[in-house]
Amino acid sequence: MVRIVFIFMMFILLGSFEINAQQRPKVLALVSASPGVVLVGQPSRVTVKVLTPTWFTSAPQLENFQIENGFVVPVPNQSISEEINGKKHAGVAFNYMVFPFKSGDLIFPSLKIEVESPAEGDYKGIAFSVQSPEKIIKTNPIPDEYKGDAWLVATSLYVSENWDKSLDKIKVGDALERTITIQAGGTLAEFLSEVNWPATEGISIYAQTPEQTTDRSFRSSTVSAKQVQKAAYLFEKEGEITIPELEFSWWNPFRKQLYKKTLPAKTVKVAPNPDLGMLESMKDSLAALQAAEAQEAIVEEEKPFLILGLKPWQFAVVVAIAFLVFGILYKVTRKLYLFIKLRRQQFRNSEAYYFRQFSKAVTHHEPGKSKQKIMSWLDRFLPQSLSPTMDSLIENAKAENLEEASLNLDKKLYGNHHQTGSWNDKAFLKEVKKARKTFKVTQKKSPEKFSDLNP
């Protein structure tokens, strides 16, 4: 019997899962890579398409991911519409530029995608998740025939140079700064190599650390890299000196061809300098500058891990203190809130609160409401030994004038147009206040008379 019940429940459970699955729209997650075979440093455009036969009631959300042996640069997404098996699908294309930096199979991982889309024939979105397939991008190594020092894959390359002084009038001991700027399209700054400054007899070269930047254009879905590197040339020997050419090469992935860019050699005439003592001083200064830059780079690399400028243990202490202060503030604030809430409740049940409500009604010239509020106030003001009526207040407070004012109020509320007398709200409120004060004084002088008040 137990087994039959168990099997029956399993059938119901499986049936509910099947019905739920049938209600979901068939959302597709497709992944493509173009090109699927690349060289080291060559980007591949990976597109993750998320498609539904209806529509998405909220934007699909892809989980965060990382790729081993590759850099990933997101580029703008696109709204798309495709026909699959004769049925129109709407969706979103998530685009990425993937730059492999090592040969072998680069794996674009399977991703969990959170979607919300209504079933066909319905309008209410159903939230669920789909999984995209992984994509393998085959990365070939640098070709054997390439003999250069720095391999670079780029769509374009521009190289320029600038000297801070003229090369026409140079004498021994002069130091000139040379700046070389490299701009490469379709690549990242991480793939740009430092300039290989060739050794030249008669010149000491002191190179600085290059400045590298990557520019991402989200409109055109392109990237480009820029590198600016400077070097100081110290001329130590007189005579004619040739500064060798500098050659830069890059592989164009679209034309599948290797290109070269050359900064031509330069021949300069170095004049003698009678003041050769400054040469050693200049060499020492440049060497010290280069050493300082190298030390700064080392310090930057060895810089300890900081969180908001604090060491981890210091940050942990600050966080702990903050939590402690927050806990104390929370407890104090809660107690203060409960105290204020209690006092407010006590006040709303007090005679003073009901008298204030009565005063507001009179001030706002509302006779009916004034009558209602004064009766509520009398119920809390007069002791239980007295009837909560105007007559009791008038009699015990000996308020003869209040009797007339009260009578005028009743005439205004319940009388007909033949009756005379007018109700003066200000005079009525004044007489009630006077009676209230008199009654309180009487109560203090003869407490035994009102012993059942506030027992």
Q: Specify the CATH number for the domain of residue 84.
A: 2.60.40.740
Distance (Å, rounded) from C-alpha 310 to C-alpha 330?
A: 26
In a domain, 324, yes or no: no
State the pLDDT at residue 318: 85
150-170 per-position pLDDT tens digit:
899 999 999 999 999 999 989
State the pLDDT at residue 19: 40
State the pLDDT at residue 203: 92
Do 404 and 437 share a structural domain? Answer: yes
In a domain, 428, yes or no: yes
Distance (Å, rounded) from C-alpha 44 to C-alpha 99?
A: 7
8-27 per-position pLDDT tens digit:
555 444 444 444 445 789 99
Do 223 and 136 share a structural domain? Answer: no
In a domain, 336, yes or no: no
Do 34 and 66 share a structural domain? Answer: yes
Do 214 and 133 share a structural domain? Answer: no
State the pLDDT at residue 293: 65
Cα distances (Å, whole numbers) of residue 356 to 368, 370, 374 = 16, 11, 10
pTM to 2 decimal places:
0.57
CATH number at residue 276: 2.60.40
Do 238 and 161 share a structural domain? Answer: yes
Element (H, E) at 405: helix 400-414
Do 119 and 163 share a structural domain? Answer: no
Out of 78, 107, 140, a domain closes at: 140
Distance (Å, rounded) from C-alpha 203 to C-alpha 198?
A: 10
State the pLDDT at residue 380: 79
Do 108 and 171 share a structural domain? Answer: no
β pairing state of 44-52 and 257-263: unpaired
Residue 129: φ, ψ to 5°: -125, 150
CB atoms within 10 A of CB 213: 11
State the pLDDT at residue 366: 86
Q: How far is CA 178 from the centre of its chain?
A: 42
In a domain, 72, yes or no: yes
In a domain, 408, yes or no: yes
36-69 per-position pLDDT tens digit:
999 999 999 999 999 999 999 999 999 999 999 9
Do 65 and 132 share a structural domain? Answer: yes
Do 265 and 170 share a structural domain? Answer: yes
Q: Which residues of the chain have pLDDT under 70?
A: 1-22, 218, 220, 276-303, 415-421, 446-455
Distance (Å, rounded) from C-alpha 94 to C-alpha 115?
A: 14
CB atoms within 10 A of CB 226: 17
Do 79 and 177 share a structural domain? Answer: no
In a domain, 111, yes or no: yes
Full domain range(s) for residue 164: 156-281
In a domain, 226, yes or no: yes
State the pLDDT at residue 282: 61
Do 276 and 221 share a structural domain? Answer: yes
State the pLDDT at residue 178: 95
The answer, yes or no, to whether the previous bond of 35 is cis (omega within 30 of 0) is: yes
3-state class of 207 per DSSP? strand
Distance (Å, rounded) from C-alpha 221 to C-alpha 186?
A: 10
In a domain, 55, yes or no: yes
- The number of distinct structural domains making up the chain is 3
Do 361 and 267 share a structural domain? Answer: no
